[in-house]
């Protein structure tokens, strides 16, 4: 049986102030480690908030990466966190996974920048998915607005046991967040850990609603409204057993779907 204790860290970042945000993140990381978590997950742009000042945020990348590496080593944790990193031509909104030795093991660049906020005008689009193995669990990170698109989740479903969705998702659309996290878990028969920020940033209110959802769509743990650690166990054996018992994924007809999409 392969089990992994994970912790979603529902953080209130200090707007565009990484040093102040590090202190808040450190408290939650310490709490996650004390609860026995092997993996701790921080929200999208956890050290700065979801700012469109891409060039300025990119200037903080080295300090943020250094903080994550040091924190992972200090607490003996895997850490997944959001930050701004360099792209080909412009900065990218990225998720980074760091191992307990402080080594960067995975980078994922957000595939769907949030057009309503003008994110594509400031950040370069990502174009690849990435999956990391952590203590026998295959985990795939995605970022915020990606949650509205089932395609990347489905594209990686056969190669993953769970998804890590890091976000800065406003409270005004919190019911969409909650419903879509459960939908992605149900349709892919996989765990989904959605980690959202709380507090206020650039005039927007964030409720959190960080939650861990199991492969049947049941909410295992959740929190809203304040900083919190949302923890639970992921079980790779349960994913495999449920997929074998309920063969929904095997009943898909991708060749037909491609033809239907091409039909006028």
Active site residue 110: yes
What is the length of the chain?
A: 264
* % of the chain exceeding 70 in pLDDT: 99
Place of tokens 């994924």: 249
pLDDT band at 87 (very low <50, low <70, confident <90, very high): very high
Contact 10, 206 (CB under 8 A): no
pLDDT band at 1 (very low <50, low <70, confident <90, very high): low
For residues 5, 35, 170 and 154, what is the CA-based torsion angle, rounded to 10 degrees? Answer: 0
pTM of the model: 0.97
Catalytic member of 16, 80, 124, 144: 144
Report which secondary-structure segment, H or E, holds 169.
none
Q: Domain 3-262 adopts which CATH fold?
A: Nitrilase/N-carbamoyl-D-aminoacid amidohydrolase (3.60.110)
In the three-class reduction of DSSP (H, G, I as helix; E, B as strand; rest coil), residue 161 is classed as coil
For the segment 153-187, what is each residue's pLDDT rounded down to a tens digit?
A: 999 999 999 999 999 999 999 999 999 999 999 99
Catalytic member of 110, 119, 124, 227: 110
pLDDT confidence of residue 261: 86
Looking at 92-179, which runs of residues are DSSP E strands? 92-98, 104-109, 132-134, 137-143, 162-167
For the segment 223-255, what is each residue's pLDDT rounded down to a tens digit?
A: 999 999 999 999 999 999 999 999 999 999 999
Active site residue 44: yes
Active site residue 144: yes
Contact 219, 232 (CB under 8 A): no
N-terminal to C-terminal alpha carbon distance within the chain: 48
What mean pLDDT comes out for the span 88-94?
97
Catalytic member of 16, 44, 119, 124: 44
What mean pLDDT comes out for the span 32-51?
98
């Amino acid at each position: 049986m392969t089990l992994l204790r994970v912790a979603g860290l529902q953080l209130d970042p200090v707007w565009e102030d990484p040093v102040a945000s590090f202190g808040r993140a450190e408290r939650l990381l310490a709490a996650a480690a004390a609860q026995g978590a092997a993996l701790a997950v921080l929200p999208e742009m956890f050290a700065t908030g979801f700012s469109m000042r891409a060039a300025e945020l990119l200037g903080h990348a080295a300090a943020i990466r250094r903080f994550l590496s040091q924190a992972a080593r200090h607490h003996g944790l895997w850490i997944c966190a959001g930050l701004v990193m360099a792209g080909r031509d412009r900065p990218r909104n990225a998720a980074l996974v760091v191992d307990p030795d402080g080594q960067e093991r995975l980078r994922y660049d957000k595939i769907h920048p949030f057009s309503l906020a003008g994110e594509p005008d400031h950040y370069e689009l990502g174009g690849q998915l990435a999956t990391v193995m952590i203590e026998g669990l295959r985990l795939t990170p995605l970022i915020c607005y990606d949650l509205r698109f089932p395609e990347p989740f489905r594209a990686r479903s056969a190669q993953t046991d769970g998804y890590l969705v890091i976000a800065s998702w406003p409270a005004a659309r919190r019911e969409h967040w909650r419903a879509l996290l459960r939908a992605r878990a149900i349709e892919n028969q996989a765990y989904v850990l959605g980690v959202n920020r709380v507090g206020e940033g650039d005039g927007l209110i964030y409720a959190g609603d960080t939650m861990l959802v199991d492969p049947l769509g049941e909410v295992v743990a959740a929190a809203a409204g304040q900083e919190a650690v949302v923890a639970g166990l992921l079980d790779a054996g349960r994913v495999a057993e449920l997929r074998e018992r309920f063969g929904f994924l095997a009943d898909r007809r991708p060749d037909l779907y491609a033809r239907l999409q091409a039909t006028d």
